[in-house]
A and B are shown apart, each in its own frame.
Chain A
């Protein structure tokens, strides 16, 4: 028999004993997790500001009430201070007051209930339209740079339209502004504004396009309720459906409406919308100047390009004509060359024939063998003539040498060298006898190496001895 085992938990669950602090902290944690940042509506009762700066009151409605505390830092930041009997919306969290085991509402923001409800409606519509994409930046259309006609939906009463027209007039007189009169708050205002937006989206009477280039939805400042028309969904959708760009200029700079989000542009004030839309004449003149300069540069550039192209085309045409002319001349040159070559060839051929005829003739009248024989004979004769000449020269040289030897023997200088002298008178005549040298005559005596000058002092006939010259004087002459 199978034994069935039974098990029992022998340990009882542990007993958890909370301290009051732990219990309060636990409750606080639970409350904070579930009731933080919530809105609660009710009427204020028993509001009291303590010297500490904290404000205490009770929020109640027909069925319940809750104690509320607004700590000093929050209280002094509140735009709307808690007042008895006022319906409000409170934002805050639920907390626990341990000392009395009471829970209370810690206030973070206070709004009068009417405005708070509007704010909630505003946030709800904003969220919904945002989800639909009506606020997308991609939907925003640019404003026309120079609008000629502006539509405006606003009240004809008050400063808005007057200021708007004044600004337009000051900045750029001559622009047409068409006002669609509309109530901008209260009963009928939504219908009026919506109708005005739709009107400006329609094609102009008798035309295909809307009358205006841009539409302004404008209103002066006011409370949230006053501006509420421009937070209505119908107005927002009319703006979104407008075929022309829409500028929202509602309230003051700090006021934000749904129209501002949907419109293509938001202007902080209606006057600012006028300045946003319309350029000043000075702006336009400067723009025109800039465009003029730009277009002038563009035209000059274009002209330069065309001129260059024209030059290129002219050059191309000139080159083409030149090439054609050159080609024609080249063709003629080729023809001339061909003809010249043919003529030269003919002449060469003829000259060749002539040369061959002359060569044939030359063979019959060839002088070269004869010249060779004559040259040989000439060479032989030259040899013989040279031999004869040498022989004759030899004989003449022998005779010359003989005569030279004889002449050497007769040379007076040889006689002088042996001691003889030659006496010359003044007329240069050799003195052969005394007649040629009278007494007193001066004589020149030539020796082998020197000469003397002497004077005749005595002259007498020749004797074999004793013949001598008296008074003979001599002197050397250089």
Chain B
């Protein structure tokens, strides 16, 4: 078991693909995560779940050789995700994508 990288990483979205920061990319490789499924949690928040084993048919995307992860267009449109940077954070066995982060002046703090 490898300790996930701490902190929030800024990742640009270019031409529909997320460029993973090297520490997160390395972590995914070490965990053996190469297939992913996107779950929209709310308008500002998605979760990238690694797809492992028999559920492989439900994946949405996989890493390109240069570390890009393509996000389906309908998903991007549904959360108003355009060419911008997003925050990535390893949480609960997945990668949370904070397209925007709402701070209700309590709880979550970026490191």
Contacts and interface: CB of A to CB of B under 8 A. Distances in A.
B85 interface: yes
- Which of B8, B86, B106, B110 has the largest count of A CB atoms less than 10 A from its CB? B110
Contact of B84 (A169, A192, A202): A192
A180 B110 contact: no
B105 A178 contact: no
Interface in A147-182: 155-157, 161-162, 165, 168-169, 172-182
Contacts of A173: 105-106
Interface residues of B, number: 27
A256 to B, nearest CB: 26
Interface in B1-37: 7-10, 12, 14
A181 B10 contact: yes
B interface, over-half SS: loop
A42 interface: no
Contacts of B105: 165, 168-169, 172-177
Contact of B101 (A156, A199, A205): A156
Contact of B85 (A165, A177, A192): A192
Contact of A177 (B8, B82, B99, B103): B103
Contacts of A180: 84, 100
A interface, over-half SS: mixed
B104 interface: yes
Contacts of A157: 7-10, 110-111
B100 A205 contact: no
B102 A178 contact: yes
Interface of B: 7-10, 12, 14, 43-44, 80, 82-87, 98-106, 109-111
24 contacts: A156-B8, A156-B98, A157-B8, A157-B10, A157-B110, A169-B105, A169-B106, A174-B105, A176-B104, A177-B103, A177-B104, A178-B44, A178-B100, A178-B103, A181-B86, A183-B10, A188-B12, A188-B85, A191-B84, A192-B12, A192-B84, A195-B84, A199-B80, A202-B80
Given A174-B105, A191-B83, 17 more contacts: A155-B10, A156-B101, A157-B110, A157-B111, A162-B109, A172-B105, A176-B104, A178-B101, A180-B84, A181-B86, A181-B98, A181-B99, A181-B100, A182-B85, A188-B85, A199-B82, A202-B80
